[in-house]
Amino acid sequence: MCHSNVRKCLAKNLSTELQRERMDTYISTADPSVLLCLGMTAAFGIITFYKAKKNQVEKRCISARGLLLLFLLEILCFVMLKSYIGLILFSMACLICNIYLSVQTMLPVDNKAVLITGSDSGFGHALAKYLDNLGFVVFAGVLNKNGSGAEELKRSCSQRLCVLQMDITSSAQIKEAYLKISEMVQNTGLWGVVNNAGILGFPADGELLPMSVYKQCMDVNFFGHVETTKMFLPLLRKSKGRLINISSMAGGIPMTRFAAYGASKAALSMFSGVMRQELAKWGIKVAAVHPAGFKTCIQGTSELWAKQEKHLLENLTPDVKKDYGEDYIEALKNFLLHMPVHSEPDLSPVLDDVLHALLAKSPHGLYTPGKSAYLTLCIFCYFPLWLYDLYIGKLQSNKSVPSALRASEAKNKNT
């Protein structure tokens, strides 16, 4: 028993000595590569923190992401059997990180002029205040120049901000806004156009929605933005500025009850993609923003819901009304009631992404601010559709069932 313990102790000590010898041999043979890797790590770490500190506007995750990538590839470097292969990988990581950090470099504000449509409330209203506070010259297009939202902007913002009457479904108002802005910016041009104005409509099954809802959503959420973009592109060309279209998560993925709204936002997203490719030769950068659920005024008021529900019922054929049942349509209002409950009150993720799209030297083509926005898009793009349908069905669970289906289920149970 004693001899056995002695043998185990000797073997353990021998093993430890061998490991030490191997480590010493590895360090001595790979000494130049190891020192070079460590030197690059230190240098790049200093550069990372310097850029993150210098870039105060875009601070989120710059150093964290850069150093995390460094750390992971540092491990790869030393785990590789041949140290020079690890060094190559590590050098590539440094290059990628430097490219990433250069993307985050922000331009100065320097009184850049930006047009924001739909500034009466919601994202547009908050963005107008946010950019004005940062020193931008803001042209806030509103649906009602004498409304409470416009008055709030006049009262709370600086004298740089200019409120413009701009219903984007009116060609005359778009042209009038263009003439006023072009007169004010003159040769400097307009740095940014943020197409934000939008309507939701009454969320309901696509079969239930009247054609007037589809047309209205397309007029406001798509055609209005296209006409605004076409009108102001000459001013953007002068400054080699930015075009930013506020789409929606529903514009990138199919979501039940959003047939009209989602289709109009999907059209806007596709328009953004095409414009990004076509306007690159002019030096204009284009971005689409797909926010998740945020608490804005887009869902409207209870009075508006009642009016839209009445309009919906009046346009249904007798067969469709019978199959769905008025109780099913009545229950759709519960979805509207619960929207604010499941929406984020803090709009800062959207505001920060729009600011990045305006000022980053190399902005992203797509931004997905908000919880689950990017995750849901990834599930839709990379997983089987049945899994996505299951996932979105859980998110938008609705216990209400059309009348005809309830009757069919009851009949099957009785037979």
SS (H, E, C) 151-211: HHHHHHCCCCCEEEECCCCCHHHHHHHHHHHHHHHHHHCCCEEEECCCCCCCCECCCCCCH
CB 361 within 8 A of CB 103: yes
How far is C-alpha 214 from the chain's CA centre?
24
Q: What is the pTM of this model?
A: 0.75
Residues 208 and 352: their CA atoms lie apart, in Å, by 37
Residues 194 and 78: their CA atoms lie apart, in Å, by 48
For position 60, what pLDDT does the model report? Answer: 43
Query: Can you tell me which residue has the tokens 């000595």?
Result: 17
SS3 breakdown of the chain: % helix, strand, coil, rounded to 5?
65, 10, 25
Residues of the chain predicted below pLDDT 70: 1-104, 297-302, 336-343, 395-399, 409, 411, 414-415
Here the tokens at position 405 are 């289906």
For position 305, what pLDDT does the model report? Answer: 73
Q: 285 has which bridge partners?
A: 242
For position 354, what pLDDT does the model report? Answer: 96
For position 176, what pLDDT does the model report? Answer: 97
For position 375, what pLDDT does the model report? Answer: 79
Here the tokens at position 311 are 């309009």
For position 92, what pLDDT does the model report? Answer: 62
Query: Which active-site residues does the annotation give?
Result: 261
* Encoded amino acid at 140, one letter: A
